[in-house]
Amino acid sequence: MFDISAELEQILKTMRAFVDEELIPLEADFLANGFTAVEPRLREKRQKVKALGLWLPQIPQAYGGLGLSLFAHGLVSRELGRTPLGHYAFNCQAPDAGNMEILIEHGTPEQKETFLMPLLRGEVRSCFSMTEPEHAGSNPVMMSTTAVKEGDSYIIDGHKWFTSAADGAAFAVVMAVTDPHHDNKYARASQIIVPLDTAGFELVRNIPVMGERGDGWASHAEVRYHEVRVPQSYLLGAEGAGFAIAQQRLGPGRIHHCMRWLGISERAFDLMCRYACQRELTPGKSLAEQGTIQAWVAECRAEMNAATLMVLDTAVKIDKQGQYAARDDISLIKFHVAGVLQRVLDRALQVHGGLGMTDDTPIAWWYRHERAARIYDGPDEVHKWSVARRILDGYR
């Protein structure tokens, strides 16, 4: 139905093989020993990716990327999502990908030189510092972090958490209130770049998430900004444009995430089918012959097919008509695909029995960590309420 060019087909095929041959073999070590343990080997893999000409698939060619459309990158994201290490190897992982995007769009020449270029080259990592423990993430205008001007600096004070990948990052993009009394509450905050070696920045802890503190890129930090002073030239975009810019990264980010979730689903489905055929319930009779398992296989396949089309359709809509036209779709795919992901993972785990609980497959890792898919970027419920209100408004 969707036209996939021969060139894109080739890219996807190469990526698929790369994931299978180069990255999946690293999974066991990553699951057992963490990100830092595999980082050196990932550096080599990144060199191979560059050599293959597939580095930065989502980034415009002018900045050294492949310049794929959102639709095409959606398909890429699904391929890479089949392993937890896929996006990182191609330098299109969150939160760096989002930061690259807004730096390209809104960065000054100096910001691009200082922050964007090393990021694009894969020399440094970055993070995005928005959510605060004291306020519901689903209502971002409730925010306590402030940035006050003094001389030609901003002085930032605040407390954030789920600043993912802060551990070892070179800089953060920080959301802070710059105009607390602005009539339009969406115009109160700004995005400001903060190098993490600035005095006053404190990485309080890598939050233990589902039993794991994680490390390096694979971590979620609680951080504090104690009178952190940065030059005003580190303001990203206009003052007060913090939410507008954050909004902007949501659309493409949503496609990336949803297709990544579908990549996870494909892999889990694959593992489930393989194991069902292999595992004998009684001699000569495998799990695959059970009607219940068969029903799960069919239901997962149907849900995954429908969800994939829905996300790709949204990507095409954004590509052609822009984010605003697709804003309902962007909300709908969030919760719908997160639900599909969870159901597929749950069933894949169940088919594996005791093995499914272990880290001998990546299913348990996704089961626990991707539970967050229904929470991050706004809990499902908030998306449901907001899209429904827009729909219902059409009936009044």
User: Mask 248-277, x = binds a second copy (CB under 8 A)?
Assistant: -------------------------xx-xx
Q: Which is nearer to a second copy, 202 or 280 (CB)?
A: 280
Least separation in angstroms between residue 35's CB and a second copy is 13
Cα atoms in the 13 Å half-sphere on the side-chain side of 210: 13
Q: Which of 35, 217, 365, 366 binds a second copy (CB under 8 A)?
A: 365
- What DSSP state is assigned to residue 204? E
Residues in 3-62 at the binding interface with a second copy, rule: CB under 8 A? 31-32
Q: Which of 25, 133, 231, 322 binds a second copy (CB under 8 A)?
A: 133
Is residue 234 a contact point for a second copy (CB under 8 A)? no
Q: Which is nearer to a second copy, 79 or 380 (CB)?
A: 380
Q: Which of 204, 207, 232, 247 binds a second copy (CB under 8 A)?
A: 207
Least separation in angstroms between residue 55's CB and a second copy is 29
- Asked whether 271 and 347 are in contact (CB, 8 A), the reply is no
Is residue 353 a contact point for a second copy (CB under 8 A)? yes
Q: Which is nearer to a second copy, 198 or 290 (CB)?
A: 290
Q: Which of 64, 67, 118, 379 binds a second copy (CB under 8 A)?
A: 379
- Asked whether 97 and 256 are in contact (CB, 8 A), the reply is yes
Tell me which residue has tokens 């979730």.
261
In angstroms, the CA 143 to CA 177 distance is 7
Is residue 325 a contact point for a second copy (CB under 8 A)? no
User: Mask 95-114, x = binds a second copy (CB under 8 A)?
Assistant: --------------------
Q: Which is nearer to a second copy, 116 or 276 (CB)?
A: 276
Q: Which is nearer to a second copy, 104 or 372 (CB)?
A: 372
Q: How do beta strands 214-215 and 189-195 pair?
A: unpaired
- What DSSP state is assigned to residue 113? I
Is residue 82 a contact point for a second copy (CB under 8 A)? no
- Asked whether 228 and 201 are in contact (CB, 8 A), the reply is yes
Is residue 203 a contact point for a second copy (CB under 8 A)? no
Residues in 145-174 at the binding interface with a second copy, rule: CB under 8 A? 161-162
Is residue 80 a contact point for a second copy (CB under 8 A)? no
Q: Number of residues in contact with a second copy, rule: CB under 8 A?
A: 93
Beta strands in 130-263 (DSSP E): 146-150, 153-164, 171-177, 189-195, 201-206, 214-215, 218-231, 235-236
- SS3 (DSSP) at 148: strand
In angstroms, the CA 288 to CA 83 distance is 24
In angstroms, the CA 208 to CA 214 distance is 7
Q: Which residues pair with 129 in a beta bridge?
A: 174
Tokens found for residue 317: 């809509």
Candidates 263, 270, 283, 284; CA nearest to 352 is 270
Stretch that binds a second copy, among 6-14, 73-81, 193-201, 375-383 (CB under 8 A): 375-383
User: Mask 285-304, x = binds a second copy (CB under 8 A)?
Assistant: --xx-xxxxxxxxxx-xxx-
